[in-house]
Amino acid sequence: MKPLKTVPSKRSDKKERELQVLLGLVDLYIKTGSAVGSTTLREKGFQSLSSATIRNYFVILEKQGYLEQQHSSAGRLPTAAAFELYAQANLSYDKVPPSIEKSLASLREGSKHEVSRFLQRSAELLSEESGFAVFLSAPRFDHDVIIDIKLIGIDLYRCLCVLVTDFGMIKTEVLHTEEKLTTFALKRIESYFHWRLTGCDEPTNLNDMELELAQRFYNEVMVRYIVGYSNFSDEDLYWTGFSQLLEQPEFSDALSVASGLALFENPSSMRHLLRDCSSSNQLKYWIGDKLKPFSPASKHCAVLAIPYCINQSPVGAVGILGPMRMPYRDLFATLRRFSQNISEALTRDIYKFKIEYRPAESGSLYLQKEESTLIQSSEPMLLEDKRQ
């Protein structure tokens, strides 16, 4: 594909007009979602050019691989290469729409020590304001404590155990037993968990079977949690906004939605993409075939991503996924402001509340000395509620 030169001092007037016609067409297509004809484009800011001249530029740009035409009487559509050129031309745009600016300003308030909840809420806000799916990677925030454990019956022999931490993390485990689990038994076992976490209100209404089961369940979920907490080889991920994609015309059927969300079926690909962005420490984009290394099925989509920092050092990245027809200019500005605001909030809260964090490291094992004493004691153990 023959590239368009982008250095103004070396571009001929014809090449300059050629580029402006292409950028104008892409901009109009992003706004309307319809193929663009020469007359339509002329009426939208190119009155100095005749329709015939614009059609000639269309032919040239089509030969260069930047435009395509569905049939001879139709207008032109931009290709992935055209979207890439448009994105590059608008990469430095930094004017955030006023309504979004006001909404994102709330992120600077942070969320005190509830870091995980803050990141999830931030991702949801970005998805709402952008209208696209959002995914975010994060380091592991240490010195977290479990503040609650809930049990939800699945059937008579299985239950779902939900662990809630002080930083807002939620972990789930499925537990099995050969004994039948009634709703009342689960509530009594929950009261045992509460006692083990806080040291308060020791239950006296458990029978021998329930007490043995409560001890075993407690030990099991704690060991599982500690293993996951100590071994941190992959960044934590948050994602949201899948329903936002259904509002886009490009995702009007089940097949297009499935292909668009294929990236989210592979967390390792999501992490790889966000890690690439974070390590470069700059805003990046992947359009069309550039997404193939991460998700071959998402070749009709685009991802924009930007790192965020703690104390000016990148610790994670946030990405927006949508169709190739996205308002790149506004999204670039929105992502920059989003990154600035959560970086400011995290840097302040991390130091204010003395929260430590660590990046993902393959084969790493993190276990503090006081966390090595485990299980059999009736005293509260690792990662329990230490705020009493």
Over the stretch 140-150, which tens digit does the pLDDT of each residue have?
A: 887 778 999 99
For position 359, what pLDDT does the model report?
A: 82
Residue 384 lies in a domain: no
DSSP string, 244-258: HHTTSGGG-SHHHHH
Query: 339 is in which domain, residue-wise?
Result: 98-139+235-355
How many CB atoms are closer than 10 A to CB 34? Answer: 12
Residue 20 lies in a domain: yes
**Domain total of the chain:** 3
Pairwise pLDDT comparison (168 vs 223), residue with the higher score: 223
CA distance 59 to 50: 15
283 plus 324 within the same structural domain: yes
343 plus 254 within the same structural domain: yes
Question: In this prediction, what percent of the chain has a pLDDT beyond 90?
Answer: 65
243 plus 218 within the same structural domain: no
Give yes or no for residue 186 having a pLDDT over 70.
Answer: yes
184 plus 123 within the same structural domain: no
Highest-confidence range of 164-173, 261-270, 325-334, 372-381, by mean pLDDT? 325-334
Q: Which of 30, 26, 29, 55 is nearest to 42 (CA)?
A: 55
For position 113, what pLDDT does the model report?
A: 76
Core vs surface per residue 170-200: b (16+ CB within 10 A) or e:
ebebebeeeeebeeebbebbbbbbbbbbbee
Tokens encoding 316: 């994670």
Any idea which of 63-77, 118-132, 294-308 has the lowest mean pLDDT?
63-77
Residue 385 lies in a domain: no
pTM: 0.81
76 plus 106 within the same structural domain: no
> Average pLDDT over the chain, rounded to whole?
88
159: domain CATH number? 3.30.390
Residue 278 lies in a domain: yes
314 plus 282 within the same structural domain: yes
Residue 200 lies in a domain: yes
274 plus 331 within the same structural domain: yes
180 plus 245 within the same structural domain: no
Give yes or no for residue 309 having a pLDDT over 50.
Answer: yes
Query: Integer distance in angstroms from the first to the last C-alpha of the chain?
Result: 66
Over the stretch 15-52, which tens digit does the pLDDT of each residue have?
A: 999 999 999 999 999 999 999 999 999 999 899 999 99
212 plus 253 within the same structural domain: no
176 plus 226 within the same structural domain: yes
245 plus 338 within the same structural domain: yes
